[in-house]
Structures are given as structure tokens and as C-alpha cells.
Amino acid sequence: MNRKEIAAYVRNNVEFFEERLQMALNKMERMRCPLSFADQELYDDITNAIEDWCDDNEVCYDEVDWDDAIEEIIWEV
């Protein structure tokens, strides 16, 4: 699994990703909370994009611990 490739896919396929991520990161810093708490809708859009990438690349979505991976993926962007 290539996290940089997945990060690029998320960036290109989640609507207004950069702007939404910046707002979520500001809230995460201010509230000291995870992305899923800072912006549940963005978190859901990211997980949906990752699931789509997995389907397109024949990777089993359920075999990866995405909670940790999502945090790593957003920092790839």
C-alpha cells in the first residue's frame, strides 16, 4: 500500500479538501482532538475516498487499521 498515492487520491477526490483540512487542523490544534472529532464529515469523506482507492487497486480495506493510517495520510498532503 502506497500512502503517498492514497494521499494524492484523497487530495484529488475529496471536494475542497485543502480548505477543509486546514480548518480541521486548526480545530484539532485548538481543541487537541483527532480529525474524526474536529470534522466528522471530512473524516467520512476521506475514509470513503480511501475505500474507493482500495476498490480500484484491489486492496482489502478491512485489512488495514485506518484510524492510524488516516492521520499519517493527511500529513502526506
pLDDT in tens, 48-74: 999 999 999 988 888 777 777 787 777
Taking only the tens place, the pLDDT of each residue in 1-12 is 678 888 899 999
Q: Over the Cα atoms of the chain, what is R_g?
A: 12
Any idea where the domains of the chain sit in the sequence? 3-76
What's the rounded mean pLDDT across residues 36-59? 93
Give the model's confidence band at 76: pLDDT under 50 very low, under 70 low, under 90 confident, else very high: low
